Structure 1
Amino acid sequence: MLSKGLLFQYSTDRIKGQLLDWSKRLKIIKGLVEGLVYLHKHSMLHIVHRDLKPNNILLECDMTPKISDFGSAQTLCSDVTEERTSRVVGTSGYIAPEYASRAVYSLKTDVFSFGILVLETISGRKNTILDKRGDTVGDLVRDAWCLWKDRRLHELVDPSLGNRYEVAEITRCAQVALLCAQEDPADRPTMTDVAAMLSSESMRLPMEPKQPAVLSEGSAGEDTYMSQSSRTVDITITSSATVLTRVRIIVDPEV
């Protein structure tokens, strides 16, 4: 199937973003959930991607998402394992706080990045980290939490969607995204939990997202970018398959 492009070409572009109605955006969100559940649980390797961002999400012509670029990926010995690295890689706005500050990563690192991707898909905005003010989660997360708390989530929605969306679906997706983007990884759900929460409208969400920490006084810092030169691993994640086929994963060990 031919590629439609990368998610970043649509998620914050005012013109291309109009091509993504709410049903397509919801399909992308649920497709990413299925892919991450496979990586974290069903692959039996407990793969953590560590650099989830719109640039690494390929969209097929039917808007089925595929997770790509596994050059920073690592495997864990269990789904609750935390590892420390001497080489932090990732992109400001998507990188989990504990990974950015303490170089500690786990499956919950991907959960945080997923939460940011969902908020961007809903809002058409980028998440900016205000480094010089001690920011750990980003302005989009803070704004989304305030709007959710005040029951004004309609103000978060990408204007290009107009009124063509289900309020209940937007609200549930945004609340789940905020749970995923919690500062403490212990407060974040697993991707299996996320799949359950998004698959049933009648399921009561188990908790409410905590308020992000208050920013310190000072000027906003510039975005930072941390990356490395790495190979892309051949892997395909599709939202229609429960089991991957013809997958080749080659992950370089940490040094």
Structure 2
Amino acid sequence: MRKKTVVPIILVAFVLTLVGCNHETTVTQDIVDKTVAVNSFHPKDYPNKIEVSSTLDFAKIYQNVDELYEDSQNVVYGKVKEIAYIDDSGAAITSYKFLIENSYKGSLKENDMISVLAVGGYVRLQKFIEVFGDAKFKDYSESKRNQTVIQENVMGAPLPQENEKYLLFLSDPIKDESPLPDGAYSEIGAFMGRYYDKGNARNGNTLSRYVPKDEPDFYGGENENYSLSKFENILQKK
């Protein structure tokens, strides 16, 4: 049986508080565009914004890179090139174009440009009402509903940003999981499968992942940081 892509179901629990060299890798080869088209919108087109708190129903807490590596089909390092927001399912999802600099598992290669889906982002209020109903928004006029967007940071996790560099643990390409776009990849375990490069991991700085602020022991005390060289040494033993 084909394993379904892990895109955690958002429990919409609203809180309407209404190496050794000092340079980065330069990609010199031609980019292979494997991105997919998405039905996106721009949050700035909506004058009203609601900030939302939500949680996730996790099937598994990934305590370390060994567990992430085992359950992922692709492991890659690279840079975010472009951001888009989609809400076809009624949930907020960020779609970002990601240019791969290193591939550590799977068939993806250096200079491949792929589309990655991350839980969290923005959802149009009208789309949310269409999917989940208007119980919380009965007093909103039709005009206000059409002019409102919901911003959602799942468990406080930051949204992907252009030019940030990540080490990602990813699914296989999505196939036949409408309304998610075929050919896109999803992060394993939501924010658990995304390590941030806040400096220059190639020069010994660390890759780290988000820890929910109100759950400092979310990973069971095993949330270790890695340099790229340390991570590559771990892979050599697999």
Give the TM-score category using the shorter length.
Answer: under 0.3
Q: Which has the higher helix share?
A: 1
TM-score under structure 2 normalisation?
Answer: 0.24
Q: Which has the higher strand share?
A: 2
* Higher-Rg member (1/2): 2
TM-score under structure 1 normalisation?
Answer: 0.23
